[in-house]
Amino acid sequence: MKKQETTFKGSCEHSNLTELLYLGQLENEEEKKLAQLHLQQCPVCKRTFSELEQQYRFIEKEIQKPVTNKTLDLAKEVGSKDTKYGLLICEPVESAKTNKKAAPYKAKVLFTANGAGNTKNKKLADFNLKSLPEDSIAIRAMTDKKCNKLLLYLWSPQNEDFDGWELKISGEAKAVFNLSGMSQIPLMEIEDLNGKVIYFKERQTAFASGNRFTNIKSSITTL
Ligand SMILES: [Zn+2]
């Protein structure tokens, strides 16, 4: 049976306001009230609102996912010729000092490209992150010479949420990660991280209240 779709297409000059309302960006109380009032009685904006809901739910889910090796391979391909990238595996080390806050890991460089890699693999995608030991953490590193940074992308077999994670390389650098496990430290040779002890600290407190807009913004503006 043919389904009769009533596609209601219309436009409303206030749809922009509705989006701002949705994102929690209306700071003026009066403006907010007016936008809410308008939303209650405007079918166009009601539809816009529920569409936004779907869109942002999707975007939020996507940007919170750790970056895949394939994506990084692609970024390397399209990046400048002197872009160097690699994979490090960090495994926990027994520590005499019990530090409740940060756990020590030892880093091992498994692969670099445009560098002195020690495997035959040519791409990150040749490595199956899912086969990593449960308690290890992988760091994909990529140089950004323009900004003098080394970009870091975390991956761990048991975690998908790296928001607020911290990494510290004794005497060298400190980084705080965003939702998708991305952060940066001052530019250094990836190989120089080989054998280094790296401290990881998970975010202690619950997710800070923030509206969708700031959450999304914070995950895309780290670079
Ligand atoms: Zn409207």
Domain ranges of the chain: 15-64, 69-204+215-220
Q: State the distance from the centre of ligand 1 to the C-alpha of 22, rounded, in angstroms.
A: 13
What's the whole-model pTM score?
Answer: 0.67
Compute the distance between CA of residue 165 and CA of residue 177 in angstroms, rounded to an integer.
5
- What pLDDT, on a 0 to 100 scale, did the predictor assign at position 115? 62
- What pLDDT, on a 0 to 100 scale, did the predictor assign at position 152? 95
Q: State the distance from the centre of ligand 1 to the C-alpha of 220, rounded, in angstroms.
A: 29
- What pLDDT, on a 0 to 100 scale, did the predictor assign at position 117? 53
Torsion of CA 34, 37, 43, 44, to 10 degrees: 20
- What pLDDT, on a 0 to 100 scale, did the predictor assign at position 7? 44
Query: Where does residue 125 rank: exposed (0-12), middle (13-18), buried (19+ CB within 10 A)?
Result: middle
Q: Which residues of the chain have pLDDT under 50?
A: 1-8, 208-209, 222-223
Q: State the distance from the centre of ligand 1 to the C-alpha of 147, rounded, in angstroms.
A: 43
User: Tokens 């539809």 identify what position?
Assistant: 47
Q: State the distance from the centre of ligand 1 to the C-alpha of 159, rounded, in angstroms.
A: 41
Picking from 164, 221, 172, the residue whose alpha carbon sits closest to that of residue 193 is: 172
Report yes or no: 144 and 184 within 8 Å, Cβ to Cβ. Answer: yes
- What pLDDT, on a 0 to 100 scale, did the predictor assign at position 44? 93
Q: State the distance from the centre of ligand 1 to the C-alpha of 7, rounded, in angstroms.
A: 17
- What pLDDT, on a 0 to 100 scale, did the predictor assign at position 212? 59
Compute the distance between CA of residue 155 and CA of residue 183 in angstroms, rounded to an integer.
12
- What pLDDT, on a 0 to 100 scale, did the predictor assign at position 4? 43
Ion ligand 1, residues whose Cβ is below 5 A away: 12, 14, 42, 44-45
pLDDT in tens, 116-151: 555 556 789 988 888 888 899 999 999 988 889 999
Q: State the distance from the centre of ligand 1 to the C-alpha of 43, rounded, in angstroms.
A: 7
- What pLDDT, on a 0 to 100 scale, did the predictor assign at position 195? 94
- What pLDDT, on a 0 to 100 scale, did the predictor assign at position 179? 82
- What pLDDT, on a 0 to 100 scale, did the predictor assign at position 116? 56
